[in-house]
Every structure is written in structure tokens, then in C-alpha cells.
Structure 1
């Protein structure tokens, strides 16, 4: 079955895809097809900010991937959730909004992503943001007129969160009023992609207005099986929906926004990737591009869980009657404990004063809980809290590779965690940061015991072994189709075009030359915002018809 010819076909209605189609569809003469493997995001636990713990393992909303046994983590197969729903992972994430640090983007430029320096990307962040704040008199106010709402929710946060900030002050760490835009060491309240008590995903911010335009078609519950090529030019895709296989033609470009796991998978299934891998699975090599799927980076974090003597969110969410009352309050006002994400306080830190830039990100949650190997969230009924830390800029790199030629087979995810001494030392420093914060009087004075790891575990080597046993992804995979100087070291040029092919781009976190220092949702949407400008510029000048340099 052959579908209509579109100017642009975008694969994936996640953080990048939604931001991309909003910009592309502003021109009523342009026809855009957006294809999403998942279904509707109109679900209660998606929209309620505290619902992250429920959607985290819901197979109706989630690809539910697991990484391969990871030698650096004692051979464990870590759970890797990825959004399979309108809005993608922005519909199931913890909603923390962090741009990253300026040096992250200057490093992108130094790695060959010309035009992606901090000076170049900062206006794109500002253009898409709308900060919902309170003025000096406590009245609601707004800063910026972008489509993405970012809320300052500190007034609604659990009172225990103030203890984290007091402890940070005792450790000598400076407090920041707007942590989302921090440019150096800073601790404060996380700002969240929340609007009037409901999640503001990329679908809510960008796709909702685009859907009101007649030139956008959205096809949900559709799995793209391959990109179609005519010689060196991408001409469309085939996808499966409702038991039928459909061919959609792209007159100008095919744009993959399926994420750092599924974009390289789709390229490989289409015969674009390492020739040996493709031949091993019986696929015709359409374009030998060795770096497709290589370079995987992610943030690896460890959490320590404590039982507290003061009230925390556990007193509400861990007990039936208070939880019911909180639900009634939310239904009536969209406020209260259910209206605030669990990540409430954190920031960027230097693990020692001699470092020129922050090398750690911390998370301080006024709730004690655990995640099982299958992703199920288990709450403690007694009051408690969690301290987490991650190395901002790991050096280890892994890979994504197809398991077979069957599009329904999940890909192989090989994180290659703690593969470098830099990262192993970073893990030790993360443990010391957590210990330092927990020992500050503001927290130590209200701590009954450490639950995970157990209180008897104090030896540095034993704590490192616990790290290997419990550390996990914080769901920030990047760089598997990264931008760079050429096909020997990258997949994309700085305009996000696949080396050696015309009419094909990748626009999502897989394009990052390296992972940013913090949460990756904000820079992914920024990247898509800038990519849309590039795509329209190239269409205006005819550049989209030309095969990028370095054809092989």
C-alpha cells in the first residue's frame, strides 16, 4: 500500500520529533507526516507529575528495554525504559529541566559540530522557553514566550526539601535561584516541565498546536521498519500499522527522531551502518557507515536511601488515607503532593575545589523508594529520603546494534559502563559527595539510618562494590548517531545530515557529540528547534537535494 507523498517524514513523536514538526508545519504549503510507534498520551498517570513512578514500567507506554550484561556492573542487565507513546520519553520522564553547562556545547563544537557552541545554542533555548515563576511579592509571573512551560514549583515542594539546601549550604555549596539555567556550580530547586499542575511534555508544548494545522498528519501505533533509498537519496519509509504495511514517500527529507536507541537501529535495519554487522544479519549494505550505533554515552548514577525521623513524602504517598486525601486535593486544585515531580532539589557540584568546572550532578528527593530489576517502583511506608549522584561527563562509550533483521526484535544495548579509569574514579567521587551531604548536620540530625546500602557498609572498596551492584542509568542515552567531522568518526555532519546520503537526517539525542552534564531532555528539544531552522534554510537554497560531503 502506498501512502501520500509528504515534504517531510518525521519518525518518532518524542522530545525532538514534536519540537521539529511544530516549526516545520508553520508553513502551510509544507506537508508533514509524523509517525509514532506508541499510542495516545491522554492517560491520568502521564499527566499527573508524581505519576512518573507508575509510567516508568508500564508496557503500554514503554519499550521496556534491558541492556546486555554489563561487565562494569557485575554482569547485570540494567532496565532501560524508553517512551513508546505520543511525547516519547518526555511523557514518562521525571520532568527536570536542565540546559546543561556552557562548556558542554563548546566541547560539541570542538568535536566537529561546527555551529553548536554555547553562544550558538543559547538563543534556541531561550526561544522555546516560557518560565512560570513568582515575583518578589509572590504573585505569578511569566518570563519568556516560548511554547515549553517550565515551572518554579518550590512553594509546593515537600518541606523536607529545604533540609537538602541547608545541608548543601553547610557543605559550602552556593544556592541558585534558577537551576535550569545554571552555568557553573550551583544547588537549588529543580524547575520542571509542568503547566498548571500537569506535565508539559514535548507533545503538550509543541505537538498540540501543530495538530491544529491541516498540513500535519500524525500516525500513531505504527512501527517504521526501514528507510527507503534510491541510490544515495532517502525517498521515504515503510511502516506497519493495523496489520498493514504502508509506504510513505518523502519529497524533501526523511528525518529520524526515534531516540538514541531506535534511530541507529532503524538506520541499520535500512542497510545503513557497519557493513560487517549488516551482512551478519543478512541485510544488503546500502551505505557502509561504521559509526552508526557506536559512541553510546549515558549518565550512570548511584542512590543512597535513608530512613528519616522527620516527615517526608512517604508519610503521604506511602500510606493509604493521606494518599487518598492528596488525590482529592489534586483533583480539586491540581496542587499538593501529586502536582510536583519527585526530583525536587539538586544541582551541579565540583567534587573537589581544584576542579575548574562541575563534575557531578546530584538529586535529593524527599522520598525513599527502590526500583526493581523490572522497573517497578517500591515505596517505603516510613519517612525517608534519597541522595543520588552521577558523573557529569563520563568517558565510557558503548554501542547499539541490531539483534537480527526483524524490526520487532529489540536491539542490543551495550553501555560499557565504567570502562575507563576516569569513570571509575568518578564513581568513587560520587560516593564521597553523597557521604559528605548526608553527614551535614541539617540531614544527619534527622536521619535514623541508611537503608541502602546497609549502615554497616563503610569501607571504600565495599561501597564501590555496592555501586557496581546497584548503580543504574538515569535514562540519558546519547551520541549513537553523533555529529562530527566525517564518516571515520561520526554519522552526521553539523547540519544533522547523514554522511554520504541526501534527504536523510537524524534529529534527536543520538546526534549529541557527547552527553551533556545534566538531564538531556532540554538539550534534545533545543537541538530539534535549531534543526528545524536548518532544514527550512536548506530547502530554501536547494541544499536538501545535494548529497553531503564524504560520500562513500
Structure 2
């Protein structure tokens, strides 16, 4: 146990945001920081080896295995919602894909009341965080904690064929979707360093743990934030079956994620009075927005047989996996050193949309997220989803019992525009794979299947086949203090309370067009300066690439094959 019981800052959650904060706040040697994590060590080959990504997210030891309530617009399916429960949090169980989001996503945040969170102000913090493998420019930087590269550099020819097919279908090529121009097809980036998953635990926490002023406690579950009137004074936790309290001299910072942070607020009596009353929790501070505004990305696998024996399906047997693992253990190279998502695409689902709302991850295999083969033989697949959903859900406390999980309801596909976008996913994807670049490889369509053609057939397929992309956010919305749906202000402070902040993906006002680890790290980098009351990094005015005729055209030219 930590001998101290009082600290300057208490950070709840050693995940994508918490590890960043632990590093940045302990840069001041006079500042004592306590970092609390329910999970344990991330020292596992299944976490550190990139190709093993499907294992930790499906393992109770490393992830909260949440499930939603029956989703009414997905045939009442209960959807899997794993969240990191280990040092590094969800950055230790995710797919390691590095996508910042489109510049307009952050302009959208500011438009919704998150003052100072436009793209110009966020860009310096994306750059501060990263160590980009391919040099510096106005958009990218080197020397930061977070290693970003392209894994095995698209050695499998299927990656390049997919990128070429996207251009033949009428879309742009992008040299760097995290740079000036997101829209288009190109190489995908990942958080891997020297063949090892570069989680925030590796990038930020381990260097900080060498400092005497950082105190890390694992196996600790936070029951509630302690309040003295409208001031947060510390936290009450359970560790080894015993309860104890830690005091915060300056601030308590919740970084428990989009499920954990609103739940802890609700356990503390902070939230919607109606929700708290139904759960039998005493109201301490009314904030109706706590737990609302829940958003996520859905995706499905568009799968094809591959006519050439190039796919990873032949590597899924026990002997092949053993060989991959041995090579990785010895040399940190080969197929074990990549997440296999090495090419991608970002497109708009229809004309009149200013920036991309659909995202492709290309995988040279036909398999499921649990790592099992989808069929016997060679294949490839597109992970395709609509990334700017209008449907909204909630996270609601059910009981004051610490062991009772919250009620999670996304209301996936509730909004008709979301269904329309998934129809575009099916039709546009078929058009891309029908291009000449894929002729040497394209076999039969496995899923959805050639017979799925009409709106009704596509809708039925989507409702039965879509899965979460594991990007929940928005449940402690950042906004103006007079916004009744906002939970934190633009300085990440819980509205109406002192010395309490939330810093993680739960404060996103809207979901970005991309995977959420990169913007979560950026948010934590910028929040650290706000907490330390340092002068924020100067905003950078840069050009933002948009399709020239986005108002009237869905792509830049007609496809070679329709």
C-alpha cells in the first residue's frame, strides 16, 4: 500500500488519458500524484505482441467485459463493449490504429460549445504526443512519446491493390490521412515501436514511474468521489476487500473512460436526479448530462474469397501461430509485429457532406475479431462503417452496489440517416472491390453475399451483422456551462463543482471520424496544460484538405467500373 494518504492530484484510471496525465503532471518534482487502476500489469505477450490484439480485449483479466442492453434497432442483440482494465487501459487492448480524426471534427467540438478545442488549437497537442516515423512537416512531428508508423509497410500485395482500387473507383489518394488531407485511400498508421504495442503505458507511464513523485496503485476500484459541499476532496476506494480514502490537495481527475467516468460520477451522487433516484443513490449534485450523449462506431466485415494464396488465413493454425510467436519473441519482427491493418480509406457517403463519414480498414484475411477464421480457404475483408452517427445512447447506474455494472444502451441505428449511410457502405464497397486492381484477387463475395441487393435486404443484413468498433465516447460532454447537456466546461472541470475534472473520451462532444485512441491522447495532453495552468501551445493555422466539389460530388471522378 502507498504510505501516503494525501496527494496533490488523484487520477482515476491508468488508461489512454490517465497515463498521459500521470507523466505530464509529475514533470513538476514538487507535485505528488496518485494514479489508481482497477486492473493489473500489462506485462503479457498477448498485450505486447501486436498481432495478438484479439486476445486481451476478450479476456476478463485485461478488460471489463461489458454488454449492452438489448439494442432495439439491432434485432435486440446485446452488443459486446470491452473496456481496458489493465495498465494502459484500452490502449493495451485496442487495435493500435492511429487516426486523429478530420480537422472539421474538432471545429465541430468548438461549435458545440467546447471553446478552444478547434483544430488549430488541438493540432499542436497531436504533434506534441507523437514520434512519427516518416519525418516532420506542418502536421506531423517527431520526438514525442507515442511511436507511430506503418508496421510492415504494406508488404502483402493485397494492401496496395486495395489502395489502387479506391483510386480507380473515383476517390483520391492520400499520402497522410493524419496530415492535410484525410479523404482518400492510402497507408494506415499504427502505434507500434520496434515491433511492440506502443500503448500509453509503454509510451508515457513507464518513463514517469521512474519519478519518486508518482505513486501507482493497481487492483484498486474507486467507489466514489468524496465531496465537501461543492468541492471534491478525494476518493473512497476498495482494495483487497478493504475500503480506504485518499485525499486530494488540488484535484481529483476521472480518466476511467466513457463507461467508467460517468458511472463513478453517478456512484458519487453526481448526475441526473431521476437516474440516481431510480438507482437508490443520494443526490449530491444535479448534472442531467452525466451518462447521456453516448456514441460509438459500428462496422461490419465485407468479406471475399481470394484467388491467390496470399492471405493470412493460412497463418491461423496452431503451428503457424507458434512460428509467428517465436519469431516475434526472438526478433520482434514478422507478422507478429503488426496489427495487419496497413491500408485504409476515408470517403464521403454522398455528395453534400463536407468531410468523410465512412472509414475502411483493409485486412488481408477473412476472419473475425476473436481471431478465428471466417471460412476455409484464402480471403480478405474490409472493415467498413459509418463514423458520424446521429444516434445517441446512455450509461445509467442501476444500483449503489460497486459491483453492479451500469446499464449501457447505445440505440445503434436509431436515426434513419445512420441506416442510409450503411446502405452506402454496402454499395460503395462492392464498387471499389469490382475495380481492375482487384481482378487478380477477387473471388466470390462471402459476406454480405451477392443476393443482398435491395434496401430491405441490406438493412436486414446490417442489423444482424454489424459489430461495435469499440469507440464509445461522449458521456461526460464538454460544452458551455449554460448547456444543460454538458458535464464539463472547456477546461475539463465538472460544471458546478470545484477540484474535479474528467479527462478521457467521455468528454468528446461528438465522435470523430476515426479510431479514438489518438484524440484521447491529444485531449489528455492539452488538459495537462490546463490543469497545470500553463500557457497553452499556440494554435497552428494550416490548410485543411477538402474535396474540391464536395457540395455536388461524392467523389472526384467516375469509376473505371460501375
**TM-score by structure 2 length?**
0.91
Contact 2:278 2:398 (C-alpha < 8 Å) held by counterparts: no
Aligned counterparts of 1:54 and 1:184: Cα–Cα separation in 2: 30
* Secondary structure in structure 1 of the residue aligned to 2:14: coil
**Is the deviation greater in 355-364 or in 474-483?**
355-364
Deviations 1:354-386 (A, max 9, x none): 533212111111111124xxx574454521111
* Residue equivalent to 1:520: 516
CA drift of 1:433 comes to 2.1
Instruction: State the partner residue of 2:553.
Output: none
Matches within 5 A, 1:151-166: 151-155=149-153, 157-166=155-164
Q: Which residue of 2 aligns with 1:189?
A: 187
Q: Which residue of 2 aligns with 1:425?
A: 420
Alpha-carbon deviation of 1:41?
A: 0.3
Which residue matches 1:543?
none
3-state SS, counterpart of residue 487 of structure 2:
coil
**Paired position in structure 1 for 2:59:** 58
SS in 2 for 1:121: helix
**Equivalent position to 2:487, from 480, 486, 491:** 491
Q: CA deviation at 1:143?
A: 4.9
Determine if the alignment matches structure 1 residue 208 to structure 2 residue 206. Answer: yes
Q: Is the 8 A contact 1:306 1:449 kept in 2?
A: yes
Equivalent residue in structure 2 for 1:149, among 142, 147, 150: 147
Structure 1 pair 432–462 and aligned structure 2 pair: CA distance change class (3 A): same
2:474 to 475, 479, 498: 479
- How far off its partner does 1:353 sit? 4.7
Contact 2:313 2:373 in 1 (8 A): no
Contact 1:312–1:385 (CA<8 Å) still a contact in 2? no
* CA positional deviation for 1:56: 2.3
SS at match of 2:336: helix
What does 1:292-331 align with in structure 2 at a 5 Å threshold?
A: 292-331=290-329
CA contact (8 A) 2:75 2:463 kept: yes
Cα distance in 2 between the residues matched to 1:155 and 1:294:
40
Partner residue of 1:139? none
Partner-residue secondary structure (3-state), 1:160: helix
Q: CA offsets, 1:417-463, max 9 Å, x none?
A: 11212212111112222222222222244222122223433333212
Deviation per CA, 1:390-440: give whole Å up to 9, x if none.
222111111000121111111111001112122121111122222222222
CA distance in 2, matches of 1:181, 1:538: 27
- Mark the CA change 1:130 to 1:539 in structure 2 (over 3 Å): closer, same or farther: closer
Q: Residues of 2 paired with 1:391 and 1:146: CA distance?
A: 31
Cα distance, 1:3 vs structure 2 = 5.3
Deviations 1:492-532 (A, max 9, x none): 11001011000000000000111111111000000000001
Deviation, structure 1 residue 538: 7.7
Task: Provide the residue aligned with 1:364 in structure 2.
Answer: 362
**Using a 3 Å threshold, how does the CA distance of structure 1 residues 6 and 539 change in structure 2: closer, same or farther?**
farther
Paired position in structure 1 for 2:530: 534
Contact 1:150 1:192 in 2 (8 A): yes
The 3 A distance-change label for structure 1 pair 14 and 536 is same
Partners in 2 of 1:494 and 1:191 — Cα distance?
A: 29
Provide the alpha-carbon RMSD of the alignment.
2.1
State the distance in 2 between where 1:277 and 1:458 align.
43
Give 2:33's aligned residue.
32
CA deviation profile, 1:224-265 (whole Å, cap 9, x unmatched): 111100000000001111121120100100000000011000
Query: What is the 5 A alignment of 1:78-227?
Result: 78-133=79-134, 143-155=141-153, 157-181=155-179, 183-227=181-225
Paired with 1:231 and 1:31, the residues of 2 have a C-alpha distance of: 24
CA distance in 2, matches of 1:322, 1:182: 40
Contact 2:314–2:378 (CA<8 Å) still a contact in 1?
Answer: no
Q: Are 1:318 and 1:379, in contact at CA under 8 Å, matched by a contact in 2? A: no
The 1-side partners of 2:135 and 2:157 are apart by 18
Greater mean alpha carbon deviation, residues 274-283 or residues 109-118: 274-283
Match of 1:284 in 2: 282
Moved more, 220-229 or 356-365: 356-365
What are structure 1's unaligned runs of at least 5 residues? 136-141, 541-552
Partner-residue secondary structure (3-state), 1:370? coil
- Aligned equivalents of 1:77, 1:155: Cα separation in 2: 37
Which whole-Å CA distance do the structure 2 matches of 1:379 and 1:53 have between them? Answer: 14
- 8 Å CA contact 1:3–1:247 kept in 2: the answer is no
Confirm or deny: 8 A CA contact 2:277 2:283 kept in the other structure: yes
- Using the alignment, how far apart are the partners of 1:538 and 1:340 within structure 2? 37
Distance 1:50 1:237, change over 3 A: same
Task: Report the secondary structure of 2:463's partner residue.
Answer: helix
C-alpha contact (below 8 Å) 2:279/2:399 kept by paired residues: yes
Contact 2:313–2:366, Cα closer than 8 Å, also in 1: no
How far apart, CA to CA, are the structure 2 residues paired with 1:407 and 1:377? 34
1:155-187: per-residue Cα shift (whole Å, max 9, x none)? 364332122112112112222222333533121
Structure 1 Cα separation of the partners of residues 212 and 114 of structure 2: 35
1-side partners of 2:100 and 2:501: how far apart?
23
Q: Which has the higher helix share?
A: 1
Partners of 1:354 and 1:282 in 2: CA distance: 47
Give the length in aligned residue pairs.
531
Deviation at 1:153, TM superposition (A): 2.5
Q: Is the 8 A contact 2:12 2:36 kept in 1?
A: yes
Instruction: Give the equivalent residue in structure 2 for 1:550.
Output: none
2:543 maps to none
- Distance in 2 between residues matched to 1:163 and 1:320, nearest whole Å: 29
Asked if the contact 1:389–1:433 (Cα under 8 Å) also holds between the matched residues in 2, the reply is no
Distance 1:539 1:500, change over 3 A: farther
